[in-house]
Structure 1
Amino acid sequence: MTNIEPIPVNQPLLDGNEKKYLLECIETGWISSEGPFVKKFEEQFAARMGRKYGIAVSNGSVALDAAVAALEIQPGDEVILPTFTIISCAAAIARSGAVPVVVDCDPDTWNMDVSQIEDKITAKTKALMVVHIYGLPVDMEPLLALADKYGLQVIEDAAEMHGQTYKGQPCGSFGAISTFSFYPNKHITTGEGGMLLTDDDRLAQRCRSLRNLCFQPQKRFVHEELGWNMRMTNLQAALGVAQLERLDEFVVRKRYIGQRYTELLSDVPGLQLPLPQTGYADNIYWVYGVVLKNEVPFDAEEAMRRLAQLKIGTRPFFWPMHEQPVFRNMGLFDGVSCPVSEKIARRGMYIPSGMALTDEQISQVAKSLKEILT
């Protein structure tokens, strides 16, 4: 095995117009957030996702902070979200002084179990934070019906869903505000970066103000409110424009990687593979996750250690929000149990599935995974 090159968990493709657009930024001197690629990226990305407005920011985590602030969620308010997600989601709620309330995930899709939401709604509930996980979207119709029934705002975190649809409608087009991340492992990347999308004029203006320190048009350095500096640079946006040009190609590529893995691993005992589709979407395979079934005598941490010895990169599944020490120390989630999320957090991982992954590497990863399990 010593002669085999390591296979990273992700490697982006940057062989389109990225270099051309970056050189344009350098040659014109437009490298800051004032440059023309920012507006171009905002407009093109919003149009692609079926929204009126795009507000580019420095990463997907701060996009969630801005979304919570723009919707004026207050201390003591409650926001329902999945426990099985990245910490950015619950952190944005907790930092605002609001209370994150979690639901467990579905054991097959790994998305939030929409059937559990209504029981969590109280007089303090102000919003639902939807997070599409790994490759399949949340079942939106019943969730939106609940939001309408109880008068709740919906924040849609579509960070992992570039190019995905729910019943033909783009992910990122639901709710009051949707958010995206452009981290290097996403379908399209700006290195670091994020985006808020909305159809509401007032919310769009508010998000633009919040990302820019709440400068005022007439009295720039007189502040009525505290915002953030979460601006995206022209350099980042130039990457985004180039990557967006290839989104359809990237979606096809990701689906090919996922389908190829499924072909190679479908006969491996002890593995739960991602669902290829549901009644409302085909898997987009942002990452290719696997869950070790109960008959496997070790957990994901041990599987990852064994794969690392074979030079295969991996990442663990998300750790549930209700088990995060930082939140438990804040007095949150006392007595909360979400058994599905707890199980897959310990027995789930994802294997290399970056855009630049070759067929040879896919075969080597599958071979290595079989080797550690048989």
Structure 2
Amino acid sequence: MTTRTVDTAHPVLDETDTAEVVAALSSGDLSGTAPVVAAYEAALATTFGVDRAVACSSGTAAVHLSLLAHGVGAGDEVMVPATAPVMTAMPVLAVGARPVFVDVTDSASFAVSLADVEARLSARTRVVMSVAMWGYPADGDALAALCDRHGLVLVEDATQAHGTRTGNRLVGTRGRIGAFSTHLRKLVNTGEGGFLLVDDEATADRLVALRNAGKAASGGQFGRGFGLNFKLPAMSAALGLRQLARLDQRVAARRAIRDRLATAVEPVDGVTPFPVRDGIPNGYAMLLLADDAHLAVVLAEALAQAGFVSDPRRYGYRPLYDYDAFAEVPADACPNAAELCSRLVSLPCHEGVSPADEQRMIDTMCQVVGA
């Protein structure tokens, strides 16, 4: 009998999504400046409770634009958690700046170590990145206060955190700017795409020009300033509008499955649910911490054989400074980040996970590590 495979990705698409895309196609204006893009941006701003949202072509483009909007370039430094994905740090290289990899508070948290940030600060530091990996809330008000104290820009990379809350705020709305992805794997899915959230009109207008070859938000010609072509097509925006309408429903469904899995894992020796310290995760995935790196490898392999591929296994998750793309970037080891990366295992907790799937995951873990 073939084992049913359950991926972490689970796009939800139905005839209403198709109808929105067909309507955009029928309008005849398929470009990134079509009216449906503005409607999508207005809906994003309302949903997240911010003044402005700016749609763009990917989550990586969103991070790239956030750096350009704040004038980050050659000679500048950007602090990036060593646990962040490659896509968070690549834009730092793209603008000619230097990523400075910082450790997390401990081996069971994605929160940036404030002490490590203070220790690595220099006159060239311009930006600190905060990353809510797998939709788990990470940095609280203390990091924002540190950035304010040193005159630094806090950029929230919330590409996996649609609907994640810290306190009474949605992740991606607490820093100077929030960058999101709407890739196929995300809770708001436009195939490829992204958006930025800001509460400052001048910054939003700058982002609009930067994503449209320097053409000002108020109109005029291209090249009035520097810019790239990072626009989101009309069809993607139309799909995004429909996807956004079901975000709360998707987050609630995923949280329910994540909570059931967390409860079931509690008595299992050798693994613990990843701690949630300040906020509510969106259910992008259920994270486990294995007691050691060897057990994490064995468990991830057993889960894969049972049809559940762990994201850390899939992507070879490790500290950023261990990737070839950053081999030329001087970096000190981040021991907490290294241990955290080595012990993580993820479980799917989306709407496509059946009660039988949940039980199979639990049974597999018990077989590997004992009940």
Do they superpose with TM above 0.5? yes
Superposed displacement of residue 56, structure 1: 0.4
CA contact (8 A) 2:296 2:345 kept: no
CA contact (8 A) 1:211 1:227 kept: yes
Residue among 281, 288, 291 paired with 1:290 = 288
Superposed displacement of residue 181, structure 1: 0.7
Deviations 1:313-354 (CA, angstroms, capped at 9, x unpaired): 2221732112222212x2421xx1111211222232212233
Task: Tell me the residue number matched to 1:213.
Answer: 213
Superposed displacement of residue 174, structure 1: 1.8
Task: Tell me the residue number matched to 1:238.
Answer: 238
CA contact (8 A) 1:155 1:177 kept: yes
Most deviating of 38-47 and 341-350: 341-350
Residue segments in structure 1 that go unaligned for 5+ positions in a row: none
Separation in 2, partners of 1:19, 1:356 = 20
Q: CA RMSD in A?
A: 2.0
Task: Tell me the residue number matched to 1:341.
Answer: 337
CA contact (8 A) 1:178 1:197 kept: yes
Task: Tell me the residue number matched to 2:354.
Answer: 358
Task: Tell me the residue number matched to 1:128.
Answer: 128
- Code of the aligned partner of 2:79: I
Separation in 2, partners of 1:44, 1:4 = 41
Superposed displacement of residue 186, structure 1: 1.7
Deviations 1:262-291 (CA, angstroms, capped at 9, x unpaired): 12222211113122x42x312323211222
CA contact (8 A) 1:211 1:231 kept: yes
Task: Tell me the residue number matched to 2:364.
Answer: 368
- Code of the aligned partner of 1:287: A
Task: Tell me the residue number matched to 2:166.
Answer: 166
Separation in 2, partners of 1:326, 1:27 = 43
CA contact (8 A) 1:111 1:133 kept: no
- Code of the aligned partner of 1:113: S
- Code of the aligned partner of 2:349: S
Most deviating of 65-74 and 311-320: 311-320
Separation in 2, partners of 1:75, 1:27 = 44
Separation in 2, partners of 1:31, 1:369 = 48
Superposed displacement of residue 195, structure 1: 0.2
- Code of the aligned partner of 1:41: Y
Task: Tell me the residue number matched to 2:155.
Answer: 155
Please give the TM-score of this superposition, normalised by the length of structure 1: 0.90
Aligned to 2:133, the other structure's residue is in SS state coil
Aligned to 2:341, the other structure's residue is in SS state helix
Superposed displacement of residue 30, structure 1: 3.5
Cα–Cα, structure 1 residues 219 and 23, in superposed 2: closer, same or farther, change >3 Å?
Answer: closer
Deviations 1:55-78 (CA, angstroms, capped at 9, x unpaired): 101110011111111100121111
Please give the TM-score of this superposition, normalised by the length of structure 2: 0.91
Cα–Cα, structure 1 residues 345 and 108, in superposed 2: closer, same or farther, change >3 Å?
Answer: closer
CA contact (8 A) 2:178 2:198 kept: yes
Deviations 1:143-163 (CA, angstroms, capped at 9, x unpaired): 111111111111111112211
Aligned to 2:229, the other structure's residue is in SS state coil
Task: Tell me the residue number matched to 2:91.
Answer: 92
Residues 191-270 of structure 1 aligned to structure 2 (within 5 Å): 191-215=191-215, 217-220=219-222, 223=223, 225-270=225-270
Task: Tell me the residue number matched to 1:29.
Answer: 28
Superposed displacement of residue 49, structure 1: 1.4
Task: Tell me the residue number matched to 1:19.
Answer: 18
Percentage identity across paired residues of the two chains: 26
CA contact (8 A) 2:75 2:124 kept: yes
Deviations 1:166-223 (CA, angstroms, capped at 9, x unpaired): 2101222122211111112222211111001112222111111111122464344xx3
Aligned to 1:172, the other structure's residue is in SS state coil
Separation in 2, partners of 1:287, 1:305 = 18
Superposed displacement of residue 311, structure 1: 2.2
> Is residue 332 from structure 1 mapped to residue 338 from structure 2 by the alignment?
no
CA contact (8 A) 2:283 2:350 kept: no
Most deviating of 42-51 and 309-318: 309-318
CA contact (8 A) 2:36 2:237 kept: yes
Separation in 1, partners of 2:283, 2:233 = 29
- Code of the aligned partner of 1:176: R
Cα–Cα, structure 1 residues 158 and 140, in superposed 2: closer, same or farther, change >3 Å?
Answer: same
- Code of the aligned partner of 2:94: R
Separation in 2, partners of 1:170, 1:5 = 35
- Code of the aligned partner of 2:34: G
Residue segments in structure 2 that go unaligned for 5+ positions in a row: none
Task: Tell me the residue number matched to 1:114.
Answer: 114
- Code of the aligned partner of 2:47: R
- Code of the aligned partner of 1:345: C
Separation in 2, partners of 1:260, 1:308 = 21
Superposed displacement of residue 121, structure 1: 1.6
Separation in 1, partners of 2:329, 2:2 = 51
CA contact (8 A) 2:189 2:243 kept: yes
Cα–Cα, structure 1 residues 126 and 286, in superposed 2: closer, same or farther, change >3 Å?
Answer: same
Cα–Cα, structure 1 residues 268 and 93, in superposed 2: closer, same or farther, change >3 Å?
Answer: same
